[in-house]
Amino acid sequence: MLSILSALKKFNNKIKWLYSSINMDVKLSLILMLSFPFVTPIRWLMHPNTQKCLREELRQNVLVKGDYEIAPIEGQFMDYIVRDSKGHILANKQDITKGKFTFSTENYDMFEICFNSRVPGYQRGTLQEVSLNIKTGVEAKTYEGLGEVAKLKPLELDLKMLEDLSSSIVQDFSDMKHRAEEMRNTNESTSRRVHWFSMFSILCLFGLSVWQILYLRRYFKAKKLIE
């Protein structure tokens, strides 16, 4: 019982800190997100012999799970590949119809999953429906198995899930703050460079004007147009 009360207190303090550090618009979005925690798969139609890629930035040590389902069409084939910005392949499979993939990120990077449609040249292809459901972070964890291994009660398991969710949200806001600082530093650096470039341009124009005046003065004196 004491462990449950301690976990509740820790979770409550973390939520209070998070709630006090964000603005009203983000608070409303957060309330709506927690009130309706469902995930809708992405669906689209693939044209024959085309490729479609989905990209997302993920931080370090994030678990990613994906479920895909391809509408079967005779004579048409579908492949998928998951890779990072450096071209490292994290998961791939050919001639897919329905399945899952799982990987963990090692570094903060841009990751993409690409679906490639293949149709033989002698066959006329048709549109093929693709369904993809991707879960990351807390959504990708299986808490039922964790509860059985750690012998957690249902309430303790719910608290663990809420604690992980709050930690994930705090980390997301920390990453957003860090990126905002990087963008601000970049803007300030660019502003300073533009300032000094403008000063250099003004000095160059001023020097060119002085040189033109002296040159024209010597020219007119040589032609005896002025004394």
Report the pLDDT value the prediction gives residue 159, as an integer from 0 to 100: 77
- Average pLDDT estimate for 112-131: 91
pLDDT tens for 27-60 read: 444 444 444 444 568 899 999 999 999 998 888 8
Report the pLDDT value the prediction gives residue 49, as an integer from 0 to 100: 92
Record the pTM: 0.60
Residues 63, 104 contacting (CB under 8 angstroms): yes
Report the pLDDT value the prediction gives residue 28, as an integer from 0 to 100: 45
On average, the pLDDT of the chain sits at 80
For residue 4, pLDDT beyond 90: no
For residue 191, pLDDT beyond 70: yes
Beta bridge partners of 11: none
For residue 16, pLDDT beyond 70: no
CA 54 vs CA 24, 125, 133, 186: distances in Å: 31, 23, 12, 28
Lowest-confidence pick of 39-43, 75-79, 127-131, 186-190: 39-43
* Contacts of 75 by beta carbon, 8 Å cutoff, 6+ apart: 119, 120, 123
Separation between Cα atoms, residue 128 and residue 47, nearest integer Å: 7
For residue 75, pLDDT beyond 70: yes
Alpha helices in the chain (DSSP H): 2-20, 24-35, 143-150, 154-222
CA 63 vs CA 58, 59, 91, 100, 168: distances in Å: 10, 10, 13, 13, 12
Please state whether 137 falls in left (phi above 0), alpha (psi between -120 and 50) or beta. Answer: left
DSSP state of 36: S
**How does residue 166 score in pLDDT terms, banded at 50, 70 and 90?**
confident
Determine the residue type at 121. Answer: G
Alpha-carbon torsion angle 162, 166, 172, 173, nearest 10:
160
CA 227 vs CA 150, 171, 209, 211, 222: distances in Å: 102, 78, 21, 19, 9
**How does residue 12 score in pLDDT terms, banded at 50, 70 and 90?**
low
- Average pLDDT estimate for 180-207: 94
Beta bridge partners of 13: none
pLDDT tens for 92-121 read: 999 999 999 999 888 888 999 999 999 988
pLDDT tens for 196-225 read: 999 999 999 999 999 999 998 888 888 777
> What's the token pair of residue 116?
């490639």
The total of other beta-carbon atoms located within 10 Å of residue 138's CB is 18
